[in-house]
Amino acid sequence: MASSQKKTRIKANTPKGDYLRVIPMGGLDDVGMNCCLIECNGSMIMIDCGLTFPETDGYGIDVIVPDLSFVLDNLDMLDAVVLTHGHEDHIGALPVFLREVDVPIYGGRLTLAMVGRKLEETPLDGPVRMNPVEPGDRVKIGEFTVEFIHTNHSVPNAMSISIETPVGRLIFTGDWKLDQTPIGEPTMDLQRFAALGADGVLALLADSTNSGSPGFSKSEADVQEGLAAVLESAEGRVIVAQFSSNINRVQGMLELAEQFGRKVALQGRSMHNNFGLAEGLGFVKVPKNVLIDLYDVHKYPDDEILIISTGSQGEPRAALTRMAYGSHNKLDIKKTDTVVLSSRVIPGNERGIQTVINELTKRGATVITANDRPIHASGHAKRGEMKLLLNLIKPKHLIPMHGSYKMRSEHAKIAATVGVTSGLVIDNGDVLQFSGRGKPTVIERVHVGRIYVDGRSNAADIEDVQLRDRKALGFAGIIIAHVVVNRSSGAIVSGPDLMHRGFLNAEEEEMLPVASKFVRGSIEKMSASERRNSNQVSETIRQSLRRYFRKALDRKPVVIPIVHELSLIHI
């Protein structure tokens, strides 16, 4: 994320009096990569610093973060980063940003603990200045007085932010929902929002993700009732797959397990990490004698077991996927198992999820999704909740945040129905300025873009992902791996045959047969059902080839697996 040699500054003339600027750096036209700058009289704070993931094969790209070159060129103004909650799309870019910047971070205790866990694997020059805050705290940062307000979301410790400035007050909702019966935390502090509205709010910067969904979002208490019905009717083990950050849902399942006489085992690294952080900070209460180790599951009757797992999106190496293909080292799916997918489907994951569901069903498990029963609730406000908050706050202006242009324009239309006629639908990089009594205006645009992160290094700023792929091929080289698999039996018919371009020199090409044997061994370790899935085979080829050459040459090629499924018919 290196800054350009020539520093970029806002070219428009700075007003003589007080001024306030809103500069989104990410999260508009994206569902993810949320980041927004607030500037007032030469002082600047950054709200959130998130990432997003490649939608398709990233050719070595692990994550995508916003290009913050403009921020690096204006560090003399940046006074702090303020975080709304601990989801990756709001904190995930911090490890990249903090390699180059030493700036105080403000956020809830659990949010900062999640940031700290991410930073453990990031080489930094010194300790990060973490400043934990509680709902109701007011902090003076430069020209701003920042107040933190409790709200509900799908991760504990989520907060909205009130920002007082000489020009007026902004309220930044972050991700939120109105849950009147939450699990493990209080209800959203609507009284404080109403009080701030009575005092006057210049602009509301609000989440637009569910602006197209009518009504009100489902409560976590409703989800708990749905899960209770599953536990009551299940004859054997219940395996619930969910996002690891949804600790309040884990809390609800711990309470249900105690009610129905079941033991709970957690499965998945991120599940253990997030649960451990939340428990240590008091955000989750574990009933006595309910939690057990996964190794001890076999010591209890199946109808006394509840397993909470990662893998709800059908990720190739996730715990649930390995169970579905019979390759998990601790758990085998049984015909009496009930598997619950307690999460939304992230766009792009539909095929992987359906494949996992099919494999679980083949093994005899009963699979339940949100289409079957009320076992998931969104963490984002719907249209009814948006109207309620707008009526409470009564802002002069709405700035729709977080989501595609359609989501944000729909949010502006919702605001108009309750009398907030100034919906300012802006784009990433727009510099929206408030000054005096004039109408807020986009005075110019600053550079925004994407940084493609491969491990601990970032590629250059590239607007076109196709160009990024070509640069990656030129830098790393490519290996094409071709393998033929019997679609019926999962047996390897031939290969993998390896061909490279731009990766190995003449002396190194003798490594290809050895690499081929290494990859074949990795494929042969897969179960037969896994080998019948071309996506699983492709992922194994990609990972094993990159691992082999990383150890042998300290280089990682771009790997393109080609898996041909052959149907052999005996006549």
Written in H, E and C, the secondary structure of 273-309 is: HHHHHHHHCCCCCCCCCCEECHHHHHHCCHHHEEEEE
C-alpha count within 13 angstroms, C-beta hemisphere, residue 203: 26
Helix, strand, or coil (residue 259)? helix
212 membership: H or E segment, kind and range: none
User: What gap in Å lies between CA 385 and CA 377, rounded to an integer?
Assistant: 14
8 Å CB contact between 31 and 403? yes
Q: Is 90 a catalytic residue?
A: no
- Phi/psi of residue 214, nearest 5 degrees: -75, 165
Alpha helices, H only, 83-179: 88-91, 94-97, 109-119
Contacts of 137 (CB under 8 A, 6+ apart): 147, 148
Active-site residue, selected from the candidate residues 380, 397, 411, 500: 380
Q: How far apart are the C-alpha atoms of 522 and 540, rounded to whole Å?
A: 7
Q: What CA–CA distance (Å, rounded) separates 435 from 424? A: 15
CA atoms of 542 and 559, how far apart (whole Å):
6
Q: How far is CA 312 from CA 156, 202, 245, 306, 540, in A?
A: 20, 41, 12, 16, 20
Catalytic residue among 30, 179, 207, 469: 207
The structure tokens 């990656």 sit at 472
Say how many CA atoms lie within 13 Å of 537 toward its Cβ: 27
Rg (CA), the chain: 25
Distance, in Å, from the CA atom of 385 to the CA atom of 357, rounded to the nearest integer, reads 33
Instruction: Look at residues 375, 373, 419 and name the one whose alpha carbon lies nearest to residue 396.
Output: 419
Catalytic site includes residue 380:
yes
Burial status of residue 121 (CB atoms within 10 A of its CB: 0-12, 13-18, 19 or more): exposed
List the one residue out of 330, 336, 342 whose CA is nearest residue 365: 336
State how far the Cα of 411 lies from the Cα of 207, in Å rounded to an integer. Answer: 9
Secondary structure class of 227 (helix, strand, coil): helix
Distance of CA 1 to the CA centre of its chain: 21
Cα(206)–Cα(171) distance, rounded to whole angstroms?
A: 8
CB 50 within 8 A of CB 73: no
Q: How far apart are CA 303 and CA 403, in angstroms?
A: 42
Q: Please identify which residue in the block is written with the tokens 């690096």.
A: 72
Phi and psi, residue 67, nearest 5°:
-75, 110
429: which 2 tokens? Answer: 């990089």
Contact 225, 193 (CB under 8 A): no
3-state secondary structure of 461: coil
Q: Which of 461, 483, 455, 451 is nearest to 555 (CA)?
A: 455
Name the residues annotated as catalytic: 207, 380
